[in-house]
Amino acid sequence: MDSGVGGLTILNESIKLNPNLDYYYFADYKSLPYGTKSPAVIRKSLVNNLNLLQEKFDFDVLVLGCNTLTAVAVDFLRRLYPDKIIIGTEPAIKVAINNQKTNILLLATPNTIKYNKLINQCKEDKNLNLQLKPMATLADLIEHNIGNLRELRPVIYKLLGDYTGYIDSIVLGCTHYIYLSKMIREYSQVPVFDGNFGVIKQIQKKTNPKKKAGKVYVLTNDIKKNDNLLKAWEILQSEGVRECAELLAT
Ligand code: DGL
């Protein structure tokens, strides 16, 4: 689940690594953006969506393909559905640290920066220079420009210009931002990390694949946004949006 196209980056990569599973992807466009809504509102819509989805589909693993949902709802969901396996998406700060990075810029939604436990722990670490940059509108901008992401170059260049020379890595703490990963890496000239690989490994660990290739269903509660999902899927099929993080994570 995600608020839009972000979690498709996980779906796309998970299908490659774990093809013999059935996947149901749900884009909660009615709640986009999660990043600036109150946790209570996000949790309410999540429970509504899950109730509807559970009536129709029989799933046993729930993947939060979204750092924000994970930050505000993963503990709550695990209490609510103790029998389900729930996998969250976390900013890959640890992957950056394991790669000897100490001057890290984290881009994430305001909610992720406020509520993610790992970020709050890392803030206290005196050996780490973690720059937190809450991005209130970037996920929305990506959705609006999904047909032409180059339009966002000035926004990204302006944002990163302030950090040139001060950082040795960037962590993308929002699955939407992964569509800009290549642009961000090329401009910043530092490694760019995200949490997808960790999620995909968890999916592999917690599931029992079938003997043959599974099916993939992509669903949304706002049919007008179907086109966004299709365009995003095309991007993911046509170009490697990220290389570095995956290589470094392995
Ligand atoms: N893709 C989501 C994430 O990883 C957030 C997008 C939103 O703000 O809705 O945090």
Of the residues 176, 179, 196, which should be mutated to test ligand 1's pocket, given the most ligand atoms within 8 Å of the CB?
176
pLDDT at 204 over 50: yes
Strand order in the sheet with 192-194: 129-134, 103-108, 169-173, 192-194
Query: From the CB of 63, is ligand 1 less than 6 Å away?
Result: no
Token pair, residue 95, equals 């992957």
pLDDT surpassing 80 at residue 208: yes
pLDDT of 243: 52
Distances in Å between the Cα of 101 and the Cα atoms of 45, 199, 246, 248 are 37, 21, 16, 12
pLDDT in tens, 2-36: 999 999 999 999 999 999 999 999 999 999 999 99
As annotated, the active-site residues are 66, 174
pLDDT of residue 172: 97
238: how many CB neighbours lie within 10 A of its CB?
8
The pLDDT of residue 240? 61
Question: Where does residue 192 fall: left (phi above 0), alpha (psi -120 to 50 degrees), or beta otherwise?
Answer: beta
Model pLDDT for residues 70-124, shown as the tens digit of each residue: 999 999 999 999 999 999 999 999 999 999 999 999 999 999 999 999 999 999 9
Q: Residue 175: CB within 6 Å of ligand 1?
A: yes
Spatial neighbors of 187 by CB under 8 A, at least 6 apart, are: 156, 157, 160
Span 206-230, average pLDDT: 95
pLDDT digits (tens, 9 = 90+) for 169-188: 999 999 999 999 999 999 99
Atom nearest to 36 CA in ligand 1: 8
User: Going by CA atoms, what residue is nearest to atom 2 of ligand 1?
Assistant: 66
Q: Give Rg (Cα) of the chain.
A: 17
Domains of the chain: 8-89+196-249 (3.40.50.1860), 93-194 (3.40.50.1860)
Please tell me if the CB atom of residue 88 comes closer than 6 angstroms to any atom of ligand 1.
no
249: CB partners within 8 A, 6+ apart = 92, 95, 193, 197, 198
Tell which atom from ligand 1 comes closest to the C-alpha of 68: 10
Mutate to test the pocket of ligand 1, among 106, 111, 175 (most ligand atoms within 8 A of CB): 175
Query: What is the C-alpha to C-alpha distance for residues 216 and 131, in angstroms, rounded to an integer?
Result: 38
Q: Mean pLDDT throughout 188-194? A: 96
| Among 1, 2, 31, 171, residue to substitute to test ligand 1 (most atoms within 8 Å of Cβ) | 2
Q: Which atom of ligand 1 is nearest to the CA of 175?
A: 4
| Res. 241 pLDDT band, cuts 50 70 90 | low
pLDDT tier for residue 238 given thresholds of 50, 70 and 90: confident
74 lines ligand 1 (CB under 6 A): no
Phi and psi at 217, nearest 5°, equal -120, 135
